[in-house]
Chains A and B, each alone.
Chain A
């Protein structure tokens, strides 16, 4: 399977705990995006990387959130001191810069439930 993969698919955690999610993009894609989707809403942009550089962060990304993409391959999204409002589906997408189609391909998401 050469699509975008995410791990874990589901995560249940208690309020105040830290969680980390992983995204593996399509292998030749140099851009990687994180989005958050709450129930009944469309995905909202959180942050994106071009290769290993994090180039933009949304105001939705509070100081408790941090993302990395070491060596421009996989990416991790960490949430510290989780709150119930963090419960959502976290989606990763990748694309290829210079590809005139600008197509972003999404992974299956990680559903986070904070109790």
Chain B
């Protein structure tokens, strides 16, 4: 059972544009939603995270939008740059217990000049 669904699988965006990646979750017990960035041959790096008590969180060019009623959250990358080309994973966990992360299947983002 895939508890976190991510789309699109791949995304091509022009430099300077906005990249948008979407995720949906099923388990209403999830209360922590991070996004990770992964370059080839590297481990995932934490980018930004949000909790359900806020609907939006912004850090630099990266923004998470969260819709609790729809059980959806999304990552927006403003002014996308070639250096942003990577695979992005959304994830979810519960803050009680083991806090293990359940990941989406990833989005391969390519920023073209």
A103 lies within 8 A of B34 (CB): yes
22 cross-chain CB contacts under 8 A: A4-B43, A6-B43, A33-B100, A40-B105, A42-B91, A42-B103, A42-B106, A43-B44, A43-B101, A43-B103, A44-B103, A48-B100, A56-B98, A56-B100, A93-B101, A102-B32, A102-B99, A104-B34, A104-B46, A106-B43, A106-B44, A108-B43
Convert B69-92 into 0s and 1s, putting 1 for each residue whose CB lies closer than 8 angstroms to a CB of A. 000000000000000000001010
Q: How far is the CB of B103 from chain A (nearest CB, A)?
A: 3
Number of contact residues on A: which range applies?
20 to 34
A31 to B101, CA, bound (A): 13
Contact of B105 among A41, A93, A108 (CB under 8 A): A41
User: In the complex the two chains form, what is the Cα distance from A115 to B35 in whole Å?
Assistant: 33
The residue of chain A having its C-beta at the shortest distance from the C-beta of B90 within the complex is A42
Chain A hits for B6, CB < 8 A: 42
Chain B interface size, as a band, is 20 to 34
Main secondary structure of the interface of A (DSSP, over half): strand
Q: Is B22 an interface residue (CB 8 A)?
A: no
On whether A103 and B93 interact (CB within 8 A), knowing A42-B103, A45-B100, the answer reads: no
Q: How far is the CA of A111 from the CA of B89 in the complex (A)?
A: 19
Contacts of A95 in B (CB 8 A): 99
Contacts of B44 in A (CB 8 A): 43, 91, 106
